[in-house]
């Protein structure tokens, strides 16, 4: 649900966490994105030459606001956030530029399996990740799980964690998975690993510790600090909030072939031109708009 009023949580003396609702939905996410944009334009605060609000990070149900407590007191910040909340456009009128990006994935791959096995040997034995996701979501086979995960378009609802890592939700309600996170987290994850936890999916741009269940691995770089490959000319990060992702299952041979193409800079990314994503048709389909 969306809360009638935003809820505020204190996150230290430099951060305020604004909570808009309690479930993963496109409506909550788009509200958070629009709100973050409004709040970060702190010129509305009337402070000239002082950057009182230093960063704003939207996610699925929250907006994290980083501010400088030397220039802005907590009560004033909350008042400002409430003001931005009230000034927000109607939900059905929210739009975002959006591209559809295809990501090739070798599901059930040997690299993430090796990482999983190391975890079992060095930390504690756990269920194989794909098997666990299949069991928890009542799939009959691993193939069915893979088909299910690679069917819908996935929505990039948040970018961050580390260097352009996207967090994705399915754009069709029938495709909500569920999976727990590792406890304790892994010490590392192979780059390109596709992970799921809760109802969300992620793609790891680099080697990093984390806790999502590992389903597969993509050979396609999504972070390129040298900015040599074509999609990275303007930014070292492939994904922007509002992009959509379609996973294409591939075998390990194709994985290695694509990996080679990437190395020789011959790989062609499959990215559509930017279109306007509007919430209205999506909501009408869901019959949420009166």
Partner 1 sequence: MFNPTTLTVLESEKNASKPTFEVITGGIETTIQDGWSRKGYLGFGIPPSGPLDKLSFQLGNQLLGNQENTAGLEIQFIGPKLKFLAQTAVVITGANNYPAINHKPVPLWQTLAVRPGDILSFGHPQTGARSYITFAGGINVPALMGSRSTFIKAELGGFQGRSLEPGDIISTFLPYLPLGQIVGQTLPKKMIPEFTHRWVVDILLGPHDDFLTPSDIKQLLNFDWIVSPKSNRIGYRLEGPEFKFTESVRERSARGGYHPSNQIDYGCSIGSVLLCGQTPTILLADCPSLTGYITPCTVINHSLRKVGQARPGDIINFRQVSLEEAIQKYKIATNSTSTNYCLAGYPQRWANQN
Toward partner 1, which CB reaches closer, 112 or 213? 213
Give the separation between CA 134 and CA 150, rounded to whole angstroms.
Answer: 14
Task: Give min distance, CB of 80 to partner 1, in A.
Answer: 17
Beta bridge partners of 156: 168
Binding interface with partner 1 (CB under 8 A): 9-15, 17, 22-24, 54-64, 66, 69-70, 74, 136, 158-165, 167, 178-185, 187, 197-198, 200, 205-209, 211-212, 223, 225, 227, 234-237, 240
Contact in structure between 192 and 238 (CB atoms under 8 Å): no
Task: Give min distance, CB of 190 to partner 1, in A.
Answer: 14
Task: Give min distance, CB of 196 to partner 1, in A.
Answer: 11
For 68, 113, 171, 180, the CA distances from 162, given in Å and listed in that order, are 23, 22, 23, 20
Task: Give min distance, CB of 222 to partner 1, in A.
Answer: 11
Task: Give min distance, CB of 22 to partner 1, in A.
Answer: 8
Toward partner 1, which CB reaches closer, 106 or 231? 231
> Which residue is associated with the tokens 């074509």?
230
Task: Give min distance, CB of 241 to partner 1, in A.
Answer: 8
Toward partner 1, which CB reaches closer, 113 or 181? 181
Contact in structure between 146 and 139 (CB atoms under 8 Å): no
Give the separation between CA 44 and CA 109, rounded to whole angstroms.
Answer: 50
Toward partner 1, which CB reaches closer, 69 or 281? 69
Toward partner 1, which CB reaches closer, 185 or 249? 185
Give the separation between CA 20 and CA 60, rounded to whole angstroms.
Answer: 9
Torsion of CA 256, 259, 264, 266, to 10 degrees: 100
Closest CA to 211 of 189, 185, 191, 188: 185
Task: Give min distance, CB of 236 to partner 1, in A.
Answer: 6
List Cβ neighbours of 14 (8 Å cut-off, separation of 6 or more): 66, 67, 68, 69
Toward partner 1, which CB reaches closer, 23 or 93? 23
- Give the three-class secondary structure for 158: strand
Toward partner 1, which CB reaches closer, 55 or 275? 55
């Amino acid at each position: 649900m969306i809360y009638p009023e935003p809820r505020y949580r204190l996150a230290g003396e430099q951060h305020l966490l604004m909570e808009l609702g309690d479930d993963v939905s496109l409506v909550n996410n788009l509200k958070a994105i629009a709100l973050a944009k409004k709040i970060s334009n702190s010129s509305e605060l009337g402070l000239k030459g002082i950057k009182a609000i230093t960063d704003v990070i939207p996610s699925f149900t929250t907006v994290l606001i980083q501010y400088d407590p030397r220039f802005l007191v907590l009560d004033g910040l909350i008042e400002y956030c409430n003001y931005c909340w009230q000034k927000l456009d109607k939900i059905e009128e929210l739009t975002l530029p959006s591209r559809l990006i295809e990501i090739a994935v070798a599901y059930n791959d040997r690299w993430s399996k090796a990482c999983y096995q190391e975890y079992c040997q060095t930390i504690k034995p756990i269920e194989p990740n794909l098997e666990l996701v299949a069991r928890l979501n009542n799939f009959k086979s691993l193939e069915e799980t893979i088909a299910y995960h690679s069917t819908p378009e996935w929505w990039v609802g948040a970018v961050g964690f580390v260097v352009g890592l996207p967090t994705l939700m399915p754009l069709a309600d029938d495709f909500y998975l569920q999976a727990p996170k590792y406890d304790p987290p892994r010490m590392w994850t192979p780059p390109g690993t596709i992970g799921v936890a809760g109802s969300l999916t992620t793609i790891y741009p680099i080697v990093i510790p984390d806790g999502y269940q590992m389903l597969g691995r993509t050979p396609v770089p999504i972070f390129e600090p040298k900015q040599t490959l074509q999609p990275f000319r303007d930014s070292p990060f492939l994904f922007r909030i509002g992009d959509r992702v379609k996973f294409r299952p591939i075998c390990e041979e194709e994985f290695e072939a694509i990996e080679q193409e990437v190395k020789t800079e011959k790989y062609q990314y499959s990215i559509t031109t930017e279109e306007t994503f509007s919430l209205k048709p999506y909501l009408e389909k869901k019959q949420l708009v009166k």
